[in-house]
Amino acid sequence: MKIKIIGIVTLLGAAAMVALTPGTANAEPWPSGCDSGFGYRYRYTWAQCTGGSGSVRAIATCAKGSARTTVYGPWVGIGASSAAFCPTTHPLAVAYTYGIRQ
């Protein structure tokens, strides 16, 4: 009888832990409505998200001849714009994308 009671108490404790564990129902939505592109004369790239929550940043691939480098803009909140400026050593933006995080 004593083992049966310990088993029931253990089972109830485990069920309570599962019930109190936060799930995805409480999670904030990821950034949405995101877009990016080239800035003035291909000197930088920009990124922006219009919905959800979290942040976004611009990512640019910059070039000089065949040499490439990647630069990152600052993380900004939803509705704000991030810009990744190419350095003078690689002044031409040849590709753009963005990163998001919650």
Residues 71-87 pLDDT 10s? 999 999 999 999 999 99
Contact 58, 74 (CB under 8 A): no
- The string of DSSP codes covering 5-24 is HHHHHHHHHHHHHHHHS--G
Is 28-101 in CATH node 2.70.98? no
28 pLDDT band, cuts 50/70/90, is confident
Q: Strand, coil or helix: what is 36?
A: strand
- The answer on pLDDT for 91 being more than 70 is yes
Report the pLDDT value the prediction gives residue 53, as an integer from 0 to 100. Answer: 97
35 beta partners: 48
- Is the pLDDT reported for residue 3 higher than 80? no
Contact 60, 84 (CB under 8 A): yes
Under the banding of pLDDT at 50, 70 and 90, the label for residue 25 is: low
> What are the pLDDT digits (tens) for 39-72?
999 999 999 999 999 999 999 999 999 999 999 9
